[in-house]
Structures are given as C-alpha cells and as structure tokens.
Chains A and B, each alone.
Chain A
Amino acid sequence: DAGVIQSPRHEVTEMGQEVTLRCKPISGHDYLFWYRQTMMRGLELLIYFNNNVPIDDSGMPEDRFSAKMPNASFSTLKIQPSEPRDSAVYFCASTEPDARGYTFGSGTRLTVV
C-alpha cells in the first residue's frame, strides 16, 4: 500500500490567492482527518470525515477554509483567500474504525507570502 498520499509537498502562494491541498487516503479506511501543524499552536484538528461525510468541522479556523470528500479515495482542503497566517504544514490522515491509530501523509508545507 502506498500509504496516505498528499499533494503538493510544498506550495508557495501570494496572499489572496486560492490554495487547494489534496489527499488520497488508504483504501478501505473509513475516516479521514485534516490537521494543521505550526510551531506556535502545535497540531490542530481542522476537520474529519467518516464515510465521506464531514463529522466535526469545529476546528476549521474560519469561512476561508473549506474541505470536501467527494468519494472514498479523495479529499481536498481549500483556502480562499489565503493569508500569511495560514502558513503551516497541513497533514492528512486516515484510519479504520478500530484502535490501530492513524496513518499520516507526509504533509503539505504551505507558505503564503
């Protein structure tokens, strides 16, 4: 299995531009999570899905952030418009519904200038 695949690995964009981050979970995993990691705030859960349905989006910072999961093999996290404070590493993770723990992707390092 190729694991959780995220793209792009690095993204540099100008303030005000739209940014789309992509994630392909492990086949058969019913849960998908989006996390943000910064030095100041550590790891923050943004949103998670179960069977493609958003379950908890209380961590989404504001209306500029949106996430979708149109099918079991693909999810996107979109920021529109982007701001410098959105600069962070964004991780996607997936898991089966048991106590095995998550599998994380390698992350997308976003820099907004």
Chain B
Amino acid sequence: GDSVTQMEGPVTLSEEAFLTINCTYTATGYPSLFWYVQYPGEGLQLLLKATKADDKGSNKGFEATYRKETTSFHLEKGSVQVSDSAVYFCALSDHGGAQKLVFGQGTRLTINP
C-alpha cells in the first residue's frame, strides 16, 4: 500500500539555520503530496502542497519540490525562526487529494534562539 517515510526527529537547530526535513513516498499511482505543520495543542495545518511531478509548493518561506524520479518531497527553509518550532508531517493522497491522506510519522523541530 501507499506509505510515507520521514527523517526521524527530533531535529534541533539554531535560529537562522538552514532546514531540510527529508520525505520519501511509495505509491501505486500519481499522488498529490503535502506538508502539514502541527503547533503544540493544535490540529494539523496545511503548509504547502504539490500535485504533479516537478511542482514546487511554497508557503511562509518553506518550500518542497515533487521529485517523481526519486519519489521525494523534502521540506526546506533557508532561515528558520523560533516560531517554526512544531511537528511537521509529510503526507500523500491518491486520486486528486479528495480521498484519504497517508501521513508520515512526523518530525519534531525545535529552534533555539
């Protein structure tokens, strides 16, 4: 079945550091790919998405590129802030995103001032 694998956390960085969180996927079709962020005590929020190969999703300084050849969707940010501390989830959905999302296990990110 479809699956998503994320780099294990926790990840701890200093403010203004460069961030990469790796995500790879396995899917039978051509999925849509997503990154969600969960702040403490809250639900998940959509951070960015990409629906086809070579698409780049971006939001709030984060970006990720849909790489079909490597089945990857790595999350990057050039300069992280303390407010970026959260848990980040990579996810995929077949059939245009309307149906169920399959999530990775989440990566906890802590940014120190």
What is A's interface to B at a CB cutoff of 8 Å? 4, 30-31, 33, 42-43, 45, 48, 55-56, 91, 93, 95-107
On whether the beta carbons of B49 and A98 are closer than 8 Å, the reply is: no
* Inter-subunit contact A99/B43 (CB<8 Å): no
Distance between Cα atoms of A55 and B98 in the complex (Å)? 12
A96-B98, A97-B98, A101-B97 given; A42·B105 CB < 8 A: yes
Interface size class of B (residues with CB under 8 A): 20 to 34
For chains A and B in complex, what number of residue pairs have CB atoms within 8 angstroms?
62
B28-49 with Cβ < 8 A to chain A: 32, 34, 36, 41-46, 49
User: What A residues does B97 contact at CB under 8 A?
Assistant: 95, 98-101
Judge whether B100 is part of the interface by a CB distance below 8 angstroms.
Answer: yes
With a cutoff of 8 Å between Cβ atoms, the chain A residues found around residue B89 in the complex are 43
